[in-house]
């Protein structure tokens, strides 16, 4: 069996154009009154620089602590989350000439073995891609997708 070594730590990247103004898109990710319509189900507060909040996914019975390291209104949010296996997540909000917004998300700092870090990055990419699609559906079309809740449904067995 061949055992490859990573030459650099994995970094998750996901992005999506959301056809809404940057102020509206930024607010959707910073304000839990909006974010709870497409991602987590409960939050103890908004994402502001220096804030420590708790996000909950009630349908799964899980939560995580989130520390907001930096927040630049309508530009960028940087958090560290999951104290048991901390990573850093950055959202960048890039306005386009057409009034639309490109949202770029990166996550880095995965711990564990190389295999574990790569597996976490791949899993994270899938999750953040669903979050971006759900945010797009809500902000562009007013549709509440349940992709996050439906990603790990109960009552199905193979």
pLDDT of 73: 98
Q: How far is CA 113 from CA 11, 17, 110, in A?
A: 14, 33, 9
Q: Are 34 and 135 in contact (CB under 8 A)?
A: no
| CA atoms within 13 Å, Cβ hemisphere of 17 | 7
Q: How far apart are CA 57 and CA 152, in angstroms?
A: 12
Kindly state the tokens that stand for 116: 């574990």
pLDDT of 2: 61
pLDDT in tens, the chain (158 residues): 566 788 899 999 999 999 999 999 999 999 999 999 999 999 999 999 999 999 999 999 999 999 999 999 999 999 999 989 999 999 999 999 999 999 999 999 999 999 999 999 999 999 999 999 999 999 999 999 999 988 888 888 87
Domains of the chain in start order, with CATH, are 12-150 (3.30.530.20)
For the whole model, what pTM was predicted?
0.93
pLDDT of 157: 80
Q: How far apart are CA 69 and CA 61, in angstroms?
A: 26
């Amino acid at each position: 069996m061949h055992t490859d070594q990573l030459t650099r730590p994995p970094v998750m990247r996901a992005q999506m154009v959301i056809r809404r103004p940057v102020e509206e898109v930024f607010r959707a990710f910073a304000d839990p009154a909006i974010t709870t319509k497409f991602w987590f189900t409960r939050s103890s507060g908004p994402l502001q620089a220096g804030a420590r909040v708790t996000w909950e996914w009630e349908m799964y019975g899980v939560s995580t602590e989130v520390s907001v390291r930096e927040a630049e209104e309508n530009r960028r949010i940087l958090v560290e989350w999951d104290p048991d296996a901390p990573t850093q997540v950055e959202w960048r909000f890039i306005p386009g000439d057409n009034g639309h917004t490109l949202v770029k998300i990166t996550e880095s700092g995965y711990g564990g073995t190389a295999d574990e870090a790569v597996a976490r990055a791949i899993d994270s990419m899938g999750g953040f891609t669903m979050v971006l699609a759900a945010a797009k559906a809500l902000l562009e079309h007013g549709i509440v997708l349940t992709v996050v809740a439906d990603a790990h449904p109960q009552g199905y067995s193979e």
